[in-house]
Amino acid sequence: MADRYLSFTGTPPGRFLTRRLGLPRPAPLRRWSAERPSLDGGLLHLTAGKSGLGLAPVLARTGLHPDDTTGRPAAVVLDASGVRDVEGLTEVHAALHPVLRSVAESGRIVVLGAPLDPADHHQAAAQQALEGLTRSLGKETGGGRTVNLVRLTDADAAESTLRFLLSPKSAYVSGQVITTGAHEPAAPHAAERPLAGRTALVTGAARGIGEAVAETLARDGARVVVLDVPQAEQDARRVAERLDGIALPLDITAADAGARIAGALPDGIDVLVHNAGVTRDRRLVNMPAERWTSVLEVNLASVLRTTDALLAAGALKRGGRIVATASIAGIAGNAGQTNYGASKAGITGLVRTLAPHAHAAHGVTVNAVAPGFIETRMTAAVPLFIREVGRRMNSLAQGGLPVDVAETTAWLAHPASGAVNGQVVRVCGQSLLGA
C-alpha cells in the first residue's frame, strides 16, 4: 500500500503544514538499483584519537571517492577506534560538529569504534559512549540519513560491512551497532555476483519478505531454493521459475524437515535463510494454548530443529551462512504478541549462543535480521491509525520495504562477511522503541 503521507510531505503544501504543525517529515529513501548502485558524492574520512586501522584502501573500494571535495559529501566515516578516554570524546565532537549540516540527503554517517577493553574501564566507558552518540545522532539527523557504529580491530575484516553501510542497500538500517571479528579470508568472487556457484535455501519464500530475499540472493548469483508449505506450492513454483531456482514444498515444522532438505539438496547448502513465520495475535490473558504453541513451533522450534539437523548432517558447507529472522517485537515487545515476541527473542538467543560454536565446529556464521515495520500485505491489512503509528515511530518516519530486509540478508550471506558472526541487525529505520 502506498504511503500517501510520505508523498504529501514532498509537496509544497505538505512541507508547509508539517513544518508549521511539527509533524514528521520523512524523506524518500535512496535504495539500490542497477542504474545507480552507489551513493552520489564523496566520502569524508575523519579521525578522533590515534588509530592504526589503515582504512584508506578499504574506503577506496566502497564506490565512493575519498578525494572528492566537491559538493556535499554522501558519507562521513569517523574513525574513533583510538578514543580511550573522555578527552578523546571531545575530539569526536570537534570532528563531527562542523560537517553534519553538509551531509547530503540519504547520506551515511559511520562511526568506527573498538571493542571494549575489560582491563581498562576508561577505554570501555569512552567506547561505550560512542554507542549513545550513534543512537542519539541517528534520531537527530533527518533527511533520510543513517548513522551506525562498527566496532572493529581489522579494516579488511570489516570491508563487507563498510561497503554495505556506505551504500544505498542499507537505506533502512540506522542506529545499529555491529561488531566484526578477526579477518576471514574469502574465496574469490565476482563483485557483481558474489554468490555465483552457491546454493541458498530460503524458507517462507513464496511471498512477501521471503520472496524479496530470494530475488536479491538470485540477483547476487545464488541458485535459490524456494521453500514454503505445500499449500503455497503454486506460488513457490512461480517464484522459483522466475528466478531460475528450485521450489521445495515442505512444512518446515515437520519432525524430519531437516533430513528431507538434506536429501533434496545432496550437494549441500551455502546459505540458509530462516524466514518462515506466522502471527496469531491476542493478549496473553485471552490466548488459548494453540495460538501460543503454533507460533512458537513455526517461528522458533522449527528453526532450532532444522538448523541442528542440517549442521549434524554436514549439509551446510564450510564458509556457509545462516541468517535467521528475528523482530523488533522480540527486542522491545508488543502488546498482543507475547507468543510472537517470545519466539523472536528466542531467535536472538539462538544466534548469540550458536554463532561461536557453529563457526568453530563447522566454519559457518550465524546472524539474524530483526525487521521493524515493513510494508507488506500483512501490514496493509492493519487498521489505518495503527499502521500510521507503525510507519512514523522510527527515525526515518516511514515503513521499510521487503527489499530492505533482503539487502541486509544478502550482506550477511556475502562470502566476504565471514567476520560478521553472532550479530542481530535491526532493519527498522531505527525504531523509537527498543532501539
- Catalytic residue annotation: 340
Residue with the three cell numbers 559538493:
71
* Selection from 83, 76, 82, 112 nearest residue 97 by Cα: 76
3-class secondary structure per residue, the chain: CCCHHHHHHCCHHHHHHHHHHCCCCCCCCCCCCCCCCCCCCEEEEEEEECCCCCCHHHHHCCCCECCCCCCCCCEEEEEEEECCCHHHHHHHHHHHCCCHHHCCCCCEEEEEECCCCCCCHHHHHHHHHHHHHHHHHHHHCCCCCEEEEEECCCCCCCHHHHHHHCCHHHCCCCCCEEECCCCCCCCCCCCCCCCCCCEEEEECCCCHHHHHHHHHHHHCCCEEEEEECHHHHHHHHHHHHHCCCEEEECCCCCCCHHHHHHHHCCCCEEEEEECCCCCCCCCHHHCCHHHHHHHHHHHHHHHHHHHHHHHHCCCEEEEEEEEEECCCHHHHCCCCCHHHHHHHHHHHHHHHHHHHHHHHHHCCEEEEEEECCECCHHHHCCCHHHHHHHHHCECCCCCECHHHHHHHHHHHHCCCCCCCCCCEEEECCCECCCC
User: What strands, in cross-sheet order, belong to the sheet with 108-113?
Assistant: 43-49, 75-82, 108-113, 146-151, 177-179
Nearest 5°: the CA angle 365, 125, 110 is: 55
The CA distance from 109 to 244, in Å, is: 37
Tally the C-alpha atoms within 13 A of residue 153's C-alpha that lie toward its C-beta.
8
* Beta pairing class for 365-371 and 146-151: unpaired
The CA distance from 300 to 212, in Å, is: 21
